[in-house]
Structure formats: structure tokens, C-alpha cells
Amino acid sequence: MNIVVIGGAGYIGSHAVKLLVEKGHTVSCIDNLTNGHRAAVHANARFHPVDLVNTFQIIDVFQKDKIEAVMHFAASAYVGESVTDPRKYYRNNVANTISMLDAMHATGIKKLVFSSTCATYGMPPKMPITEDLPQNPINPYGDSKLMVEHMLKDIAKAEGLAFAAPRYFNVAGSAPDGSIGEDHRPETHLIPVLLNVALGKVPHINLYGTDYPTKDGTCVRDYIHVWDLVQAHLILLENLKPGQGLFYNLGVGKGYSNREIIDAVKRVTKKNIPVIESPRRPGDPPELFAAPDKIKRELGWSAQFTNLDQIVETAWRWFQAHPNGYG
């Protein structure tokens, strides 16, 4: 297929581009490089430095590259920032997605995989999280993603759009061959922050909250490997039917505490990780982990990287080879 990856120069998007190219698809990448890296885009993908706000430029790319399906990863994704600057999140995550959907409608594209998030569930009433739990976001980031889910359902009914909206948990790791990896500016994800400490780029890690009602007092999260995640996206795309909306939680179905993550990084890197215990951050749920049974039952997907040390090892391989990221 001719597939376009929106946000294909970002962390997850670049891995999707790589996978699709390796599977023999013709891949285009659209990214305004606000947060992405041109060097992360596979050499065999067509790159278009276009902003989603420019609907007619998006239409031009879709027409010239004869696009048949879209994977949409482009979004602002810092929870704390969404609280202090909600306009940015509704503009980037909602309004720009409308612009992209207008371009799809104008060019007759009917297949879309949209990256959603477990943040749409807010503070879930139980663990693990199943797809039928209430969606009550507690921040503008989660609200913006849920708004898009609602839009997609309505458009699917009206126009026959086929879409999937996988809800992610914590994404980690790097491409198994070490060719691309995670490089955020600023970096807020726990594993890469810890690896920067191991490299000596950061003096210590702040451990926010040690008095949660969990096994060791720290937050518990589900960590899914980025390569497993993008393979699930391809399976979703291959299973889309006209007018259908697919919703799946993508995780490993097990939660790891922050202390367990720190210990894993110590084991893998064989480095000391200085830790400063700090107060809780507002809005951090004690536990978040997925029940991925639905996608395994219906589509046969399950995570292959389920060992925490294995996930960290792939990230460490990238960080050692690229201590300054993409430069």
C-alpha cells in the first residue's frame, strides 16, 4: 500500500516508517520537525516537511503520493504542559487533526490508524484497564485525544471512514537493530531520563512519590516496547473495514513500579543511579496497566518484548551509540 505516516520523524512515528518500509510498503512521511528529527526518517521513505494546519499542502502530498491509508502520530503529548497551555493541545491535537481529516475526505482516503492514549481513562476505577471502562480524562491532553475519538466515530458513521484508535500505555525501547531510538527535547520519560543519568549527562533522577498504595510505594505503569507497538498498528491497518472503528489497549498487561524500572536500568547499564526522593506530582494515578486480552483474542497480537531488562537493553544500545541523540 501507499501509506503516509503523520509525525513520522518522531519517536513512535519513525519506528512505524521503518517497519512499513521493511514490510514492502511505499511510505511517505509528513512532519513539521517541531519535535521530530529528519535523521530518524528511513532513507527509503518520501519526506514532506509540512505542517498539518496547511490542509491544501496535505491534500497535495496525498494526491502526488497516491496515498491509500494514513497513520497519525503527530500530537503534543506532555501532560503537565497541557494543563498550563491547553490552547496548544486543542490546536495541535484536535484542530490539526480536523485539517488532516479534511484532506483525507478531499482525496477519498478511507483508512486511518490514530494514536490515542490511556490518558482518556483518567483515574480508572479498577485495574487492569479494559476498553469498556469509563473515559474520564483528568487533563487537557487526555481530553484532546478523547475528542478526536468522538470525531472519528461520527465521521465513520457519516462517511464510511474505517479507523482504529489504539490507546497506548508507556512506550519504551528502541528499534531492535539500534538504528533509531528515543530523543525528546525535553526528555520526561522515565527510562531515557535514567539512561541519561547512566551516561553522566544528568546528575540524578527525581523519584516523585514514594508513599503510594503500591507494592513499593512508587507509581506502577505498563511499559510496551515501541517495536511491538508499531507492529500492532500495521495489524490494525490490515484489519480495517469500511465504517468500522476499532479501539484496543496496547500494553503488556503487567505493571512495573518506578523502583523496579530504576533497578532494571542499574542491572542493564551496570551504572550507579543517584535517586532523590521527591513529593508526589499532582494527578499521577498510583497504578495504570492494560488488559490487552481483546486485541489478542480478536486480532492475534500480543507483545513480544515482555521482559523489562530486554526492553531497557534495546534503549541502552541506542543511547550508548547516540549519546547526543540525533545531534
Confidence band (pLDDT; 50, 70, 90) for 72?
very high
Q: Report pLDDT for 282.
A: 78
Q: How many angstroms separate the CA atoms of 182 and 235, rounded? A: 23
Q: What is the longest distance spanned by two Cα atoms in the chain?
A: 56
The alpha helices in the chain, defined as continuous H runs, are 11-22, 55-64, 79-84, 86-89, 96-107, 140-159, 190-198, 226-238, 258-269, 293-299, 308-321
8-state DSSP, 286: S
What are the pLDDT digits (tens) for 112-153? 999 999 999 999 999 999 999 999 999 999 999 999 999 999
- 31-40, 222-231, 283-292: segment of lowest average pLDDT: 283-292
Q: How many angstroms separate the CA atoms of 74 and 7, rounded? A: 4
What are the pLDDT digits (tens) for 39-51? 999 999 999 999 9
Catalytic residue list contains 141: yes
Q: Report pLDDT for 111.
A: 98
Confidence band (pLDDT; 50, 70, 90) for 292?
very high
What are the pLDDT digits (tens) for 227-275? 999 999 999 999 999 999 999 999 999 999 999 999 999 999 999 999 9
Concatenated DSSP letters for 217-229? SS-EE-EEEHHHH
Confidence band (pLDDT; 50, 70, 90) for 285?
confident
Q: Report pLDDT for 80.
A: 86
Q: Report pLDDT for 77.
A: 92
Contacts 24+ apart (CB under 8 A), 78-81: 78/141, 78/188, 79/119, 79/139, 79/141, 79/142, 79/283, 80/281
Give the active site residue among 11, 89, 121, 141: 141
Q: In what order do the strands lie in the sheet with 116-117?
A: 116-117, 167-168, 249-250
8-state DSSP, 33: -
Cell readout for 208 is 516523585
